[in-house]
C-alpha cells in the first residue's frame, strides 16, 4: 500500500523507497522494438543484458514482449506469453531478488507474469485495451503503472487532438484512478505517456509541464529514453539519442519524476546523482 507520504510502493516482499528517484531498466524480448528490437530476443542475450542493467544500478527491470512503438506489428496473446514467461522464470532463477515490471496491456499476460515472479504491471493502455486489467491488478494486489495513451500502437499517432494537453491527461487519470481504487489497487504510478498519441511539440510541452501532475499525489514515471521525440528532433538515429535522453531525463528529475524508465542505466544513475547534488543547493537553484 502506498504510504501516507506517497514515497513507497510494495513490490512483492520489497518496499521500494521512492524518496529518491529510482531507475527502471528496459529489457525487450521482441524482434521489433524501436531501439533494441531483435538485439535481445534470444533469451541468453536478454538475460546477459538484464544482468548488466542490474549491475549498473537498475532498481526495477521492465520486461516487454510486445513492441509498443508506433505502427508496431500485432502479436498474438499466445506469442507474447511464449516470449515473456520462460524469460521471467529464468530471470528469477538467476536474480531471485530482482524487482520485475511486466510491460503488457493484456490481463492474462499480466497475471501469468505475476504468478511466475513479476511484481508490477506496466500497462501502456491505461486499461483501455483489456477491460479485465484493473480487476486483475486488484486481485493480484500489485502496483500498477497507469499510462496515458489513445487508441493502440497501430492508431495512436493519428489521435493527437487535445483541447489542453495537461488538462486532458489529468482528466484521463482522474477518471481511471478511482476505478483502480474500487478494484483494490493501492499502489498506482502515473506515466503521462510521452511518445504515445502525441506530436513532437506536445511531447515537449508535456515534459515542460510534467510537474503539474504532482497534484495527484502519486509517483510519477518519466519515460523518454531514446524515443523518436529525441532522435527526430535532432535528426539522428535512436542509436545516437543518448545525449538527448540524458538532457530530458535531467528536466524530468527537476520536474519531480520519481522513476526513470531507461535503456541506459549507468548514465541515468549518474544523472540522478548529479541532480541530487544540485538539489542540495536550494538557495542557489530554487529547486
The total of other beta-carbon atoms located within 10 Å of residue 285's CB is 10
Q: φ and ψ at 44, to 5 degrees?
A: -65, -45
Write down the catalytic residue from 69, 176, 198, 227. Answer: 227
Decide the pairing of beta strands 144-147 and 8-11. Answer: unpaired
User: Is residue 11 helix, strand or coil?
Assistant: strand
39 carries an active-site annotation: no
Q: Which grid cell sits at 86?
A: 520462460
Output the DSSP codes for 167-225.
Answer: HHHHHHHHHHHHHHHHTT---EEEE--TTSS--HHHHHHHHHTGGGGGGG-S-BEE--T
261 carries an active-site annotation: yes
Query: Are 63 and 99 in contact, with CB atoms under 8 Å apart?
Result: no
Write down the catalytic residue from 69, 106, 261, 269. Answer: 261
| 193 to 20, 107, 121, 140, 244: CA distances (angstroms) | 22, 20, 15, 24, 18
> Which residues are known to be catalytic?
227, 261
Amino acid at each position: 500500500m502506498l504510504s501516507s507520504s506517497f514515497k513507497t510502493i510494495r513490490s512483492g516482499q520489497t518496499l521500494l523507497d521512492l524518496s529518491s528517484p529510482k531507475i527502471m531498466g528496459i529489457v525487450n524480448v521482441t524482434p521489433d522494438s524501436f531501439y533494441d528490437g531483435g538485439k535481445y530476443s534470444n533469451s541468453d542475450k536478454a538475460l546477459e543484458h538484464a544482468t548488466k542493467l542490474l549491475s549498473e544500478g537498475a532498481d526495477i527491470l521492465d520486461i516487454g514482449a510486445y513492441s509498443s512503438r508506433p505502427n508496431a506489428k500485432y502479436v498474438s496473446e499466445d506469442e507474447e506469453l511464449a516470449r515473456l514467461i520462460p524469460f521471467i522464470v529464468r530471470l528469477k532463477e538467476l536474480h531471485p531478488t530482482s524487482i520485475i515490471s511486466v510491460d503488457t496491456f493484456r490481463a492474462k499476460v499480466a497475471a501469468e507474469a505475476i504468478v511466475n515472479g513479476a511484481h508490477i504491471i506496466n500497462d501502456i493502455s491505461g486499461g483501455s485495451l483489456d477491460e479485465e486489467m484493473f480487476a486483475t491488478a486488484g486481485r493480484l494486489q500489485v502496483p500498477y503503472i497507469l499510462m496515458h495513451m489513445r487508441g493502440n500502437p497501430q492508431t495512436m499517432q493519428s489521435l493527437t487532438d487535445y483541447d489542453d494537453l495537461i488538462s486532458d491527461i489529468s482528466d484521463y487519470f482522474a477518471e481511471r484512478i478511482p476505478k483502480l481504487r474500487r478494484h483494490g489497487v493501492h499502489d498506482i504510478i502515473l506515466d503521462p505517456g510521452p511518445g504515445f498519441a502525441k506530436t513532437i511539440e506536445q511531447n515537449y510541452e508535456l515534459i515542460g509541464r510534467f510537474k503539474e501532475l504532482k497534484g495527484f499525489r502519486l509517483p510519477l514515471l518519466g519515460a523518454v529514453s531514446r524515443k523518436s521525440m529525441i532522435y527526430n528532433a535532432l535528426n539522428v538515429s535512436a542509436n545516437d539519442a543518448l545525449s538527448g535522453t540524458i538532457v530530458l531525463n535531467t528536466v524530468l528529475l527537476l520536474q519531480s519524476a520519481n522513476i526513470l524508465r531507461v535503456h541506459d542505466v549507468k548514465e541515468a544513475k549518474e544523472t540522478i546523482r548529479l541532480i541530487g547534488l544540485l538539489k542540495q543547493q536550494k538557495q542557489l537553484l530554487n529547486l
